[in-house]
Amino acid sequence: MDAKTRVENLPGIGQYYSYKLKRLEIETLEELIYHFPFRYDDFSQIAPIQNLTPGEKVSIQGNVWQIKNIRTRTGKFITTATVADDSGTIEVIWFNQPYLTKNIKAGTPISLSGKVELDGHRFKLMSPQYEIIRTQTAPQDLSTLHTGRLVPVYPETEGVTSKWLRAKIAKFLPEYLKSQKDFMPDNIISHQKLIDLDSALHKIHFPENLQDVSLARKRLGFDELFETQFISAQRKEKWRNKNHAPNMKVEKGKVVEFIKSLPFKLTQAQLRAITEILQDMQKNIPANRLLEGDVGSGKTVVAATAAYISYLNGYETLIAAPTEILVFQHAMTINQLLSPFGIKTGIWTGSKKQKGDITVGTHALLSTFKAEKQIGLVVVDEQHRFGVAQRAKLFTGSPKQETPHLLTMTATPIPRTLTLTLYGDLDLSILDEMPIGRQKISTFVVPNKKRLDAYQFIEKQIMEGRQAFILTPFVEPSETMQSVKAATVEFGKLKNHFSKKVKLGLLHGRLKSKDKEKVIGNFKADKTNILVTTPVVEVGIDIPNATIMMIESAERFGLAQLHQLRGRVGRGEHKSYCLLFSDSQSEMSQKRLKSMEKVHVGFELAEIDLRLRGPGEIFGFRQSGFANLKIADLSDEVLISKAQAEAKKLVENDPNLEKYPLLREKINTFELEYVQPN
């Protein structure tokens, strides 16, 4: 049976179930086999009926004495059965499953797993999993799927239960394993003490104990991590071998002069990052460096220093940013830093086109900009907002056949383990210090009953000369998310909550460019006191006088994004606050948001979110390159490092996997979205 066999062609599935399985992204036999459990119910202890305790999850095995359906006054069915083993009897109850009396008859040997409840003085098993025993061997030898063992629980969808998935996987797994060979090189399996692939796939679905689960997860997780790391190492090698960059001269005296001219003192982290990127630029291998740092940690001055060196060597620099707001902010900052040295900063957006020695632009750089000189440096800010093909365009159109050095920047705090996985082919610089003078922002998760108090607090701050942001997730009300406050609706409502002295502005991504500029200009000039906005404010707006960030439906944001939004205030001399409102009462949501009150380091918050929600929830699987990571533990730095080491070694010795055709085939089908140009 071929791994790529469509599920609709498998016996017992057909069109109906294949349509349901598509919702779980299962379209082939292999995708069914690689649909892994996310937890296990431990029904492995088979207990005598006389030893049962209320509240515990147990398995029992015995014979059905009697079974019948009872119809209630409301027309619903209750199925009751009496099951006996050598030690006693127990009543079993199922709701709205009258068909059970056709499947289960008096005298049937049966295995049951579920929770014991006490009804008066009698024990009952309520809605347990059941399995008819079709063998006469001793109970401990019984082969069961749904009871009497560690029972896998899978991600489900309407019409496809874990019980259905267990039965189908048990049916097709042996045939699948017969058609597959282990693709991982024997020396790696041996060196990393991994079990073979057949054993791993069997143990992940039908483990005998938790040790089996651990061994299976280690092997299957290693496979995924190894594949990502091999692709990263292979890309890094190709990048280094195929591209030739301008090796620039760095005059230390000029760098020192520039740093002394700055109106602020650089942190040690900034100095370290500058040293690293300038060392890159002195080589003829194009730099491919990622600069990570919180909002306000000073990434722009690092980029400006690199751009200054590029200028001194006779090259142009392009700086690409995702929004016009951010473009104008960067251009203003860079102009302030470099204009004293006679360097012209240009702006290239949909609405404004002006070239400079350094040109800051939006996506318009990709379509209408033509370089007059060789581009020596490309800086991409918030690079995850640019597609791979788009970023590649930034490298074309230069007169010479040289590849510019590349510096990508992000204010999104990414846990180290995710950086290793997702950006394995980039060199990394981290700004883990904040400039002197940046204050901690007092953050509070505010219950809805104190909303009016919050409005009064905001107005008091405004009367003292301060300004505030009120942020909502969407521009207009969403039909599918009625509870989420939208900026346009909120803007109308808020006018009634503040006195007429308070002036409100509205900012969102659907405004025309000139209207956005006007709204932001009014806010900067203190002509408006409160800016009601969507997350378009996340990057690029620097208002030192703003002291309050109030966020509606805060549970819908990742902690890293909330931290970035919070960083829009606290940029001046005044005490600043972040107020988080949430409509969710879930314990996890409250726990997540409460961490914002205590933790003020973006990387720590990202680590918390990774543990609580996983990478898919934080970044979105398809957008961030985790599409094929189904089981890897992305907080397991040890396993990630081992996979990275093995992948690098193999790329050095056999970059095209000539000796390992099965592994080459596997990696070629591992569709991973990457973030840097080819």
Question: How many whole angstroms separate alpha carbon 7 and alpha carbon 169?
Answer: 12
Burial 29-54 (b: 16+ CB within 10 A, else e): bbbbbbbbbeeebebbebbebeebee
Query: What percentage of the chain reaches a pLDDT higher than 90?
Result: 45
The residues, any chain, with a CB within 8 Å of residue 495's CB and separated by 6 or more, are 504
Query: How many independent structural domains does the chain possess?
Result: 4
Q: Which pLDDT score, from 0 to 100, does residue 517 have?
A: 81
Q: Which pLDDT score, from 0 to 100, does residue 602 have?
A: 82
Residues 373 and 403 in one domain: yes
In a 3-state reduction of DSSP, which class is residue 309?
Answer: helix
Q: Is the pLDDT of residue 272 over 90?
A: yes
Mean pLDDT throughout 279-294? 90
Residue 196 is given by DSSP the state: P
Residues 57 and 7 in one domain: no
Residues 393 and 453 in one domain: no
Residues 135 and 273 in one domain: no
**Contact (Cβ atoms closer than 8 angstroms) between residue 549 and residue 578:** yes
Q: Which of the four pLDDT bands, split at 50, 70 and 90, describes residue 239?
A: confident
Residue 49 inside a domain? The answer is: yes
The residue that leads in pLDDT, 603 or 358, is 358
Q: Which pLDDT score, from 0 to 100, does residue 600 have?
A: 87
Mean pLDDT throughout 356-375? 85
Residues 265 and 400 in one domain: yes
List Cα–Cα distances, 567 to 265, 372, 410, 489, 571, in angstroms: 20, 37, 14, 25, 8
Residue 677 inside a domain? The answer is: no
CATH number for the domain harbouring residue 64: 2.40.50.140
Q: Which of 536, 571, 599 is the last residue of a domain?
A: 599
Residue 622 inside a domain? The answer is: no
Question: How many whole angstroms separate alpha carbon 259 and alpha carbon 257?
Answer: 6
Q: Which pLDDT score, from 0 to 100, does residue 143 have?
A: 61
Q: Which pLDDT score, from 0 to 100, does residue 511 have?
A: 79
Residues 31 and 60 in one domain: no
Residues 477 and 498 in one domain: yes
Amino acid (one-letter) located at 69: N
Q: Which pLDDT score, from 0 to 100, does residue 618 have?
A: 52
pLDDT digits (tens, 9 = 90+) for 465-496: 999 999 987 655 654 444 455 778 888 888 88
Residues 20 and 104 in one domain: no
Q: Which of 569, 599, 629 is the last residue of a domain?
A: 599
The residues, any chain, with a CB within 8 Å of residue 613's CB and separated by 6 or more, are 558, 592
Which of the residue ranges 6-10, 249-253, 424-428 would you say has the lowest mean pLDDT?
424-428
Residue 485 inside a domain? The answer is: yes
Residues 28 and 73 in one domain: no
Range of the domain at 168: 1-39+161-180
Q: Which of the four pLDDT bands, split at 50, 70 and 90, describes residue 457?
A: very high
Residue 257 inside a domain? The answer is: yes
Amino acid (one-letter) located at 92: V
Q: Is the pLDDT of residue 199 over 50?
A: yes
Residues 96 and 176 in one domain: no
Residue 69 inside a domain? The answer is: yes
Predicted TM-score (pTM) of the model is 0.69
**Contact (Cβ atoms closer than 8 angstroms) between residue 90 and residue 82:** yes
Q: Which pLDDT score, from 0 to 100, does residue 472 have?
A: 85
**Contact (Cβ atoms closer than 8 angstroms) between residue 477 and residue 491:** no
Range list of β-strands (E), 107-205:
109-119, 122-132, 150-153
Residue 113 inside a domain? The answer is: yes
CATH number for the domain harbouring residue 501: 3.40.50.300
Residues 392 and 458 in one domain: no
Question: How many whole angstroms separate alpha carbon 302 and alpha carbon 309?
Answer: 11
Q: Which of the four pLDDT bands, split at 50, 70 and 90, describes residue 677?
A: very low
Residue 531 is given by DSSP the state: E
**Contact (Cβ atoms closer than 8 angstroms) between residue 304 and residue 334:** yes
Q: Is the pLDDT of residue 271 over 90?
A: yes
Which of the residue ranges 21-25, 541-545, 646-650 would you say has the lowest mean pLDDT?
541-545
CB atoms near residue 237 (< 10 Å): 15
Q: Is the pLDDT of residue 428 over 50?
A: yes
Q: Is the pLDDT of residue 509 over 80?
A: no
Q: Which of 570, 599, 628 is the last residue of a domain?
A: 599
Mean pLDDT of all residues belonging to the chain: 85
Q: Which of the four pLDDT bands, split at 50, 70 and 90, describes residue 384?
A: low
Q: Which pLDDT score, from 0 to 100, does residue 678 have?
A: 34
Which of the residue ranges 88-92, 363-367, 594-598 would you say has the lowest mean pLDDT?
363-367
Residues 33 and 53 in one domain: no
Residue 418 inside a domain? The answer is: no
